[in-house]
Amino acid sequence: MKKICYTFVLLISFFNCTNSEPTQFSEAALNDVFETLDGDQITLRGILEKNKDNTILIDVWASWCSDCIKSMPDLRTIQERYKDIAYVFLSLDRGQEAWKKGIEKYNVKGEHYYMLSGREGTFGEFANLSWIPRYMVVDKKGRIKLFNAIKPNDKRIKVLLK
């Protein structure tokens, strides 16, 4: 039994070490196109450049996602505490009308972008969007400091936003 447990621990360690999280966005992800509330198009690279002087908290969400909506109060608490952060919301809503209504209904404050390519697009593929909400922290130089958090009150987020 000890050999089985030891083998299991080794396998977990191996997969954790080889499956490290990226610290930079792929070229394909940077070139993925999003739509603004005004109907303009912008790449992820453009979104990051627009916020290059700020730490960015990216929230991938949708108005139909109950976990996303349940997380909003915790996210508002973070926004109240960390005011110098750029809050970027990337929507996986099923349509732009639902996206815009969701922003208004849930009073979501920050920069808003609609993911034209959806979950299967180059950004979605890069981020391996198997679950939302999904939070990422990007530093002032565009480096990914936190790649995968599913709750806004994740301790790692608070440490990186200080």
Would the pLDDT of 8 be above 70?
no
Q: How far apart are CA 7 and CA 4, in angstroms?
A: 5
Q: pTM of this prediction?
A: 0.86
Q: Does domain 23-161 have CATH number 3.40.1390.10?
A: no
Per residue in 127-145, pLDDT (tens digit) is 999 899 999 999 999 999 9
Residue 74 CA to residue 153 CA, distance in Å, equals 6
To the nearest 10°, the Cα dihedral for 32, 36, 41, 43? -30
For the chain, the structural domain boundaries read 23-161
One-letter identity of residue 106: Y
How many helical (H) and strand (E) elements, i.e. helices and strands, does the chain have?
A: 7, 7
Is 55's pLDDT higher than 90?
Answer: yes
Task: Say if residue 3's pLDDT is above 60.
Answer: no
Q: Rounded to an integer, what distance in angstroms lies between the CA atom of residue 94 and that of residue 4?
A: 46
| Each residue's pLDDT tens digit, 110-130 | 999 999 999 999 999 999 998
φ/ψ (deg, to 5) at 129: -75, 80
Residues 157 and 146 sit within 8 Å (Cβ to Cβ): yes
- Cα–Cα–Cα angle for 64, 70, 75, nearest 5°? 110
